[in-house]
Every structure is written in structure tokens, then in C-alpha cells.
Amino acid sequence: MTLRTILTAARRLFAEHGYARTPIRRNAQEAGVAPLTIYAHFGSKAGVLTGLVDLMDDEAGIPDLMTESAGLTDPVALLGLLAAVSRQVRERCGDIVTMLSAGAAVDPAIAATQAEVERRNRFGVEMAIGRAMAHGGRVVPRATDIAVALLSVGVCFSLVRDSGWSYDDYEIWLTDTLVDTLLR
């Protein structure tokens, strides 16, 4: 419970004050722990932000969606699952995604974490497309590259934050676009 408390406090503080302007002692105070407790668990402030990635997966419901995907064989449903994952991460944890991006600009350790998140995302897309192909889906060349681009945070935030779309609208559009663009 202590780890989650620390991460929840860090999430709130980083969102309110920014990553660079939130000292470990303030995070410790908000979490009701000693600063040494944070250093013992996470090593550094960058380590706390890295810990938010695991929190993000949990809060976005990624484990539940992966369990759901185990029984899917329909290529359209598999691409719809990619859209659902993208929506849930952006809707429930867009603040963490933004913090990670901002932190990566100033800290090489966070940039490495962001690169790992992007690698894991690409791997998930490759798996879904591979399963779609294994179940008869005929996909276009470079389908993974195209899907990763469509699933990018910039596309989502452009539509939802900048253009006023709902997350439902985004997920429906993304599913349709993935299907229309990737499947022959």
C-alpha cells in the first residue's frame, strides 16, 4: 500500500506543479512517509516517475484487456482491442503520459523509460497484428508501423483535447480507421 500511496501522491503533485518543480521531500510529505522510504523503493525522483508507468498499466485496465484478448480470433475484434487499449490509457492516464513526455525532455533516465514504454506498445501492436494474421486477417505491408502511428498520443490528444471529440468518438474512429487501413 505504501508504494501506491507514494505513486498516487507523486501523480497528483507532478500534475499540479510539474515534474521538475516537485521535490522528493514534498512527495514524501504528501504520501505520509519519510523521504528515505521513497529513495529506498524508487532510488530517485526519476524512479518514481518510472513507477507511474506500472501504475498506468494497472489503472488503464491493461491486464483485464489482455485477459479478454486471449480468446479473440476475429481480426476486426483484435484491432478494436488495440483501439480500446489506446483509449483507456489516454483517458485514464493521459496525465502520466504527458508527465513522462515532459520528464523525458529533461532527464535521460526518464527518456529511457519512455523509450521502453514505446517499445512495449509496439510489441503489443505486433502481437495483435500477428494474431489477426494467424486467424485469416490479410494485413497491408508495414501494418505495425501504420498502427503505431495511428495509436500515438498526439493523434488522440489532437482529436479529444484540441478538437473536442469524446473518448467514445475517438475509440470508434480509431477502430474503424485501423480496420479500414490495415485489413485488405
* Whether residue 174 sits in one domain with residue 103: yes
Domain that holds residue 158: 52-182
78-107 pLDDT per residue, tens: 999 999 999 999 999 999 998 888 888 888
Whole-angstrom Cα distance, residue 170 to residue 163? 11
- For the stretch 95-151, pLDDT in tens is 999 888 888 888 888 899 899 999 999 999 999 999 999 999 899 999 999 999 999
Contact indicator for 81, 17 with CB cutoff of 8 Å: no
Specify the number of domains making up the chain.
Answer: 2
pLDDT score of 1 more than 80: no
Cell of 87: 483509449
Nearest to 174 by CA among 141, 125, 119: 125
- Residue 136, φ and ψ in degrees, nearest 5: 95, 0
If asked whether residues 59 and 89 sit together in one domain, one would say yes
pTM beyond 0.95: the answer is: no
CATH number of the domain bearing residue 60? 1.10.357
Distance CA 179, CA 184 (A): 9
